[in-house]
Copies of this chain bind each other. A is one copy, B any other.
């Protein structure tokens, strides 16, 4: 048995250290990481995966903490993946925030993992999906993924989760009208956090009119919370469970799983194809020559990319 197979075996017996090493292999996208994922993937698909997104300052991290405590009270075991660099679940967070999360970080039924977010040309989505698969196969009931809005990463995380929660705050500078299309595209549950702030009612009404105007069979619920005061967290947990029940209906579930699979396969194919092209031309200087010609403005980047992938 190879070393990685032994690790997978130990992880399946509940060894957290083995899980931690496997997560590192997956995050670094090593051959062993891929081998582990291939072994774990057929054992995944049981957990409820929940992506939470919102801008910095929306109180999203505190909300994830409060939600995690509520889910623990309900007897759920948890995986948490933080890909927001400002999250207290990330190693980089302020000490005070980390101390406030200590009840969670010391709970053996909670497994936390933060991920570096910068400088990855392939995007975060493939690595994040791999971490979620491993936590799912480890047997966690719910896997929470905390990411930062807005943009491509957010859309990709939404494409991967069973349930996507978009967290908004009154007066945050988030313009609801501008985000309308984007919100309805990705949100399964909307949260108005900091509900004690003056404009919370206005924000909730704006969201309600967007929800009412949206097509589709299901109305996106709007939950008002105060993560700092611990209010509305129970309703949020209920909304997540209701959405899980909704996506567990056979027809919905099949469509959902296929969309997730398609997105993941295409994202990986894109990453692998590029790696292959770069490797193919690493010795022959073709990439370097094309890049130099683009830098000198002799050819345009599209023509260079065409020439590169032509072989």
Contacts and interface: CB of A to CB of B under 8 A. Distances in A.
A99 interface: no
Interface residues of A, number: 86
B155 A152 contact: no
Residue among A93, A150, A276 facing the most chain B CB atoms (10 A cut-off): A150
Contacts of A217: none
Q: How many chain copies?
A: 2
A98 B285 CA distance: 49
Interface string A263-300: 11111111111101110000000010011101111111
Nearest to A150: B148
Contacts of A87: 178
Interface in A33-63: 34, 37-38, 40-42, 44-45, 55-57
A180 interface: yes
Given A261-B291, A294-B264, A297-B41, A173 B56 contact: yes
Given A57-B55, A124-B152, A274-B269, A301 B180 contact: no
A2 interface: no
A85 B260 CA distance: 25
Contact of A295 (B254, B270, B277, B295): B254
A218 interface: no
A178 B92 contact: yes
Given A57-B172, A85-B175, A272-B305, A155 B119 contact: yes
B178 A86 contact: yes
A136 B308 CA distance: 25
A309 B56 contact: no
A309 B269 contact: yes
B261 A93 contact: no
A97 to B, nearest CB: 8
Contacts of A264: 294, 301
A18 interface: no
A185 interface: yes
Nearest to A254: B295
Contacts of A266: 121, 274, 278, 305
Interface of A: 34, 37-38, 40-42, 44-45, 55-57, 85-87, 90, 92-94, 117-121, 123-124, 129, 133, 148-155, 172-175, 177-182, 185, 254, 257-258, 260-274, 276-278, 287, 290-292, 294-306, 308-309
Given A86-B179, A269-B309, 20 more contacts: A37-B302, A40-B300, A56-B172, A57-B57, A57-B174, A85-B182, A92-B177, A92-B179, A117-B150, A121-B266, A123-B152, A124-B152, A151-B151, A258-B291, A261-B291, A265-B290, A269-B277, A269-B308, A270-B273, A272-B305
22 contacts: A37-B300, A38-B303, A41-B297, A45-B297, A55-B56, A56-B56, A57-B57, A57-B174, A86-B175, A93-B175, A118-B181, A119-B185, A123-B152, A133-B300, A148-B150, A152-B152, A258-B291, A261-B292, A261-B294, A265-B291, A269-B274, A273-B274
